[in-house]
Amino acid sequence: MKILIGGQFFKGSSVNSGVDGFRSLGAEVATVNFGTYKPSIFNRIANKFLFKTPHYWMVSAVNTELLVVTKSFHPDFILLFKPILITPATVNELKKLAKVFSWYPDYVYFPKTASNYFYKTIPFYDAHFSFNFANSEELKKFGAKESIFLPCAADPILHRPPEALSTEERAWGTDIIFIGTYAPEDRVKMLEKLAADGFRLKIYGNAWEALSKDSPLVTSGAVQYRPLNCEDMAKGLAASKIAVAFVRQHNKETLGCRTYEIPACGTFMLHERTSKTGEVFKEGKEAEFFSSYEELRDKAGYYLTHEEERRRIAEAGFKKIQSGGNYFKDRAKFIIEFYERMMAHS
């Protein structure tokens, strides 16, 4: 099978992992990198201050490349990951050549991560896959023909227990680790309370400079002011006892990428409870969940002092990822089978 995948490619991105997943199933994959497009400074200013929904100018090059590669490669289907730069005219031209799917990671009603092009093209795609469960119904309100919940996953190349850790890498760890971008949501309040209550934390990610200097996370030295990406994330997780996972509130997440990545690295996961977490992991057996700060605090304290239970749950979570269809190759298999059913009924 020949598949064309478009998206913003960089090491550790979901679209990179998706490509590897399809190739691991024997598919021949061609790619178009949306990351070659760089909006002008005027475009960025306009999107920040003038437009509620971003508008992108001068996108003809990436749209043309997508059409040229499609015509030369002749794919069975085209999968576009977060196609906010792709115009309605391009999607309609692509549909003359192959089935066209999108895979969208964000909540469709959060306009700042979308674009005017994406909203206009939603009805034209043959199907939409989405990381976000809410989108399975919300995309239909925008005219989507097919809308399917297909969450993030782990990448076996990046998300696995490291074979060994150097002295420096062991120092990246702590009792409780959080890896993620700063966001003015409950995650900050809860982590600040953990620090104020005396827990040893380390926080890795972007934009944590936004914290006030008197935040307990700053005064305790928890914030590391740098991300841990790809293999480094696996090492930081492996060097820590507990990894806390939150979902993004503005994005209406029920399952995030960390939901799969943390246990795939063999680390005990303490995850914010949602309507979907219990469908992936057995609570108290393969992961632990919390719905309030008090539950987070109490479970963190308990598992820090009950090492055998913590290790047993971490091992069970790791095995669940390995055996439960939670890698990107499993998502790729789902999309291929969806395409085959679509063709069988066409």
Q: Would residue 8 count as lying in a domain?
A: yes
State how far the Cα of 297 lies from the Cα of 3, in Å rounded to an integer: 47
Q: CA 82, CA 7: separation in Å to the nearest integer?
A: 7
The whole-number average pLDDT for the span 284-298 is: 98
Same domain, 281 and 331: no
Reported for 45-48, long-range contacts at CB under 8 A and 24+ positions apart, including other chains, are none
Is residue 160, in this structure, part of any structural domain at all? no
Q: How many CA atoms lie within 13 A of 301 on its CB side?
A: 10
288 and 334 in one domain?
no
For residue 47, give its domain range.
Answer: 2-153+327-344
Alpha helices in 197-327, H assignment, sequence order: 216-219, 231-238, 257-264, 277-280, 293-304, 307-323
pLDDT digits (tens, 9 = 90+) for 9-34: 998 899 999 999 999 999 999 999 99
> What Å distances lie between residue 70 and 64, 128, 335, 343, CA to CA?
10, 19, 19, 19
pLDDT of amino acid 233? 96
pLDDT at 238: 96
Which residue reads 């291929």 in tokens?
336
- Predicted confidence at residue 244, as pLDDT, reads 98
* Domain identity same for 213 and 241: yes
Looking at the structure, do residues 135 and 71 belong to the same domain, yes or no? yes
Are 233 and 127 part of one and the same domain? no
Q: How many domains does the chain have?
A: 2
Q: Are residues 31 and 116 in the same domain?
A: yes
Global model pTM greater than 0.85: yes
Looking at the fold, whether 182 and 35 belong to one and the same domain comes out as no
Domain presence at residue 337: yes
Q: What is the pLDDT of residues 41-59, one digit of tens each?
A: 999 999 999 999 999 999 9
Q: How many CB atoms lie within 10 A of CB 91?
A: 24
Given a cut of 90, is residue 269 above it in pLDDT? yes
**CATH code of residue 96:** 3.40.50.2000
Q: Does the residue 162 lie in any domain?
A: no
Is residue 144 located within the same domain as residue 272? no
| Same domain, yes or no: 331 and 307 | no
Indicate if 228 and 175 belong to the same structural domain: yes
